[in-house]
Amino acid sequence: MAECGRVDSSTSRHTMDKSITLPPDEIFRNLENAKRFAIDIVAKVRSFDHTAKAASDKLYEISVQEEVTARLHFIKFENAYIETCLDFIKDHLVNTETKVIKATGGGDEMTCLIKGCNFVLRNIPHEAFVYAKHADSEFRFQTTHPDIFPYLLVNIGSGVSIVKVESEDKFERIGGSSIGGGTFWGLGALLTKTKRFDELLQLASKGQHTSVDMLVKDIYGGSYGSLGLTGDLIASSFGKSATAEKEFSKEDMAKSLLHMISNDIGQLACLYAKLHNLSRVYFGGFFIRGHPVTMHTITYSINFFTKGEVQALFLRHEGYLGAIGAFLKGAEEDNPNQYSWGENYAGSSGLMSVSPDMNPMQRARSGTFDMLEMDRLERQLVNLPLLQDPSSYIPDTVDLTEDALAREYWLYCFEEALDGVVKRAVASQPDMPEAAERAEKFRQKYRHKLQTLRHQPFAYGSLTVRSLLDTREHLHDVAHILVHNCLFCLFFPSERPWLVDCYDQWFERIKGPPHKCALFFVDNSGLLSRGTEVVLASNSGPALNDVTNGELQILTEKIAAMDSVIQAGLKEDRLTLVQSGSSSPCLDLSRLDKVLATVVRERKTDLVIIEGMGRAIHTNYYAMLSCESLKMAVIKNSWLADRLGGKLFSVVFKYEVPAGRPSLDSTALTPS
């Protein structure tokens, strides 16, 4: 609460635009039900200038936990809205007994920053990315590792803090520099008379640093080979302005300044990383925050100084770290680590490209409001213990961020299907008068989302069929609609040979000794009768027409009443029903319910069966397991069938035996 007192904007109150009307249902809609507040006050400028304009460039963030849905809401907005927000908080939230308000910014924000960083690295898939300006996909997202420590966090605010993070509770500021974002801004303002940070970056992106900087070739006529210096290397930043009489353009000076600062930070980061033997270096702070120009120069600098040994990593939600950390600090009694969290694609703005040349409308929006919603899952999610190499496991078969053709198709496909989905949604709820209105709202939102993803496929990490499906699920949820219908109908099977046809091998295998325990994702078959234990893993929450664990429980009991094999299986504990932890029509084997993982281990599971388009084709088609696996699906999409070299309704029956663990077929062969 003490920190809150620092938000004393009384001097700037008069100059603020009070007429701004917030879009309340969009931005603050969940605040009224909030029990906890965590405000991260990012005060970049203080104490030396209390006048007017300066304040409007500050960013404030607010995070609210909505108890009902166990969802975290983080809203980032410009300082111009702080008054409105504070009034809102005062009117609705303060002095009611259930509210707890925590604010950070100043003093303790480093702890919050690190807490937040650990949180997003652990909980948000595709949180970290490598930036490659000239590559096909600008952003290359990293898979989330359960083991995130140790890492180096280089936070570039006004100055630079270089922090070594060794564990959840142990971090140390091992270095820093006074040459940071404030230096770019401050020197930039003095040199160009341009006061706005964004405009300075825009100037920089148009400039030529070579007209201001002295290059190696300007001194030596070419490279300085014996020292390994190329001719284009900057020998002296601003070296040419030392004696030249000419005027330098604002753009060129801004560019030179940006290079100077980015290179310096990059070099310091590399040296500290080397000294402390750290290979993962994350960059954050307002200097970086989504700005392609700075990400590019930092990346270039890191590559130059480490010769590619260290990669510069950036974070999609870097701007929320302080707020998330503040919330976590406030919610410590809840032990947030007993839960898992997922990014809600419906309620989150996603990563914006603030490239000045690109999508200026969205840039403006990004500058005003930016949201992140995190859904709390009441369980811990872990890797499937049967994954061959968890660290290299990628659930998704096609990365639509990289594959432009596939992206185009699937975005088109999902948009085309939208009307049908809406129609079915309304039809499936004939007794709900508001269903039509909700369905319409859903249609608008999803169309907008698809539009956004067309321009910024990287918004939520790697774009995949899974993320498109999940986004729709999240939007269903927001629109409070239920779609009891399926997009694709089940046809099984056509005549052989199938598109992928391991049926003969499987058939041979089946003749051998029975498996100890099979893990089924979703469907069932006749293994129980062979003495194989069966673990049925079904979704924890609803997605498409997939059966949920709750539904499966009821269903299984009904079947058991009719089928003696099932009945015996349940009775003898050879048939177990466990929830997967997922609410997606797809399957991420690195985020499974911890209970499922325990059962899999205890039962010594030696067969995994994954069935259906979402789980076996869109995801896990290439997943390598350490036991035998069956991946089965009918390709119910002609484009995809084409891509895979088959026809619509082609059958995939993929039976795989891990290398080094031969199937019975091959073990039966004696050396001849």
Restricting to residues 26-45, name those near its own copies by CB under 8 A: 43-45
| Using rule CB under 8 A, residue 243 touches its own copies | yes
Among candidate residues 267, 300, 319, the one with its CA nearest the CA of residue 74: 319
| Using rule CB under 8 A, residue 8 touches its own copies | no
- Cβ neighbors of 293 (< 8 A, separation 6 or more) are 201, 204, 205, 258, 355
* C-alpha to C-alpha distance for 376 and 584, rounded to whole angstroms: 15
| Using rule CB under 8 A, residue 187 touches its own copies | yes
Q: Pick from 183, 353, 538, 590: which binds its own copies (CB under 8 A)?
A: 183
- Which class for 526: exposed (0-12), middle (13-18), buried (19 or more C-beta within 10 A)? exposed
* C-alpha to C-alpha distance for 493 and 370, rounded to whole angstroms: 47
Q: How far is the CB of 329 from its own copies (least distance, A)?
A: 14
Cβ neighbours of 158 (radius 10 Å): 19
- Ranges within 118-157 binding its own copies (CB under 8 A): 157
State which residue, 233 or 648, has the beta carbon closest to its own copies: 233
- Ranges within 516-545 binding its own copies (CB under 8 A): none
What is the edge-to-edge ordering of all strands in the sheet holding 151-156?
139-141, 128-131, 311-315, 280-284, 151-156, 160-165, 171-177
| Using rule CB under 8 A, residue 10 touches its own copies | no
| Using rule CB under 8 A, residue 277 touches its own copies | no
Q: Pick from 263, 401, 556, 637: which binds its own copies (CB under 8 A)?
A: 263
| Using rule CB under 8 A, residue 268 touches its own copies | yes
| Using rule CB under 8 A, residue 107 touches its own copies | yes
C-alpha triplet 306, 309, 311: angle, nearest 5°: 90
Q: Pick from 135, 275, 417, 554: which binds its own copies (CB under 8 A)?
A: 275
State which residue, 217 or 445, has the beta carbon closest to its own copies: 217
Contact flags string 48-67 toward its own copies, x per CB under 8 A: xx-x-xx--x----------
* C-alpha to C-alpha distance for 302 and 282, rounded to whole angstroms: 11
| Using rule CB under 8 A, residue 220 touches its own copies | yes
Q: How far is the CB of 51 from its own copies (least distance, A)?
A: 7
What is the 8-class DSSP label of residue 229?
B
What is 78-106 written as a DSSP string?
EGGGHHHHHHHHHHHTTTSTT-EEEEESS
Q: Pick from 7, 86, 101, 189: which binds its own copies (CB under 8 A)?
A: 189
Q: How far is the CB of 330 from its own copies (least distance, A)?
A: 18
Q: By three-state DSSP, how is residue 581 classified?
A: coil
Contact assessment for residue 597 and residue 631, using Cβ atoms and an 8 Å cutoff? no
Number of residues in contact with its own copies, rule: CB under 8 A? 75
Using the contact rule CB under 8 A, the part of the chain among 224-232, 542-550, 587-595, 664-672 near its own copies is 224-232
- Ranges within 161-180 binding its own copies (CB under 8 A): 161, 173, 175-180
Q: How far is the CB of 360 from its own copies (least distance, A)?
A: 24
State which residue, 222 or 531, has the beta carbon closest to its own copies: 222
* C-alpha to C-alpha distance for 646 and 640, rounded to whole angstroms: 8
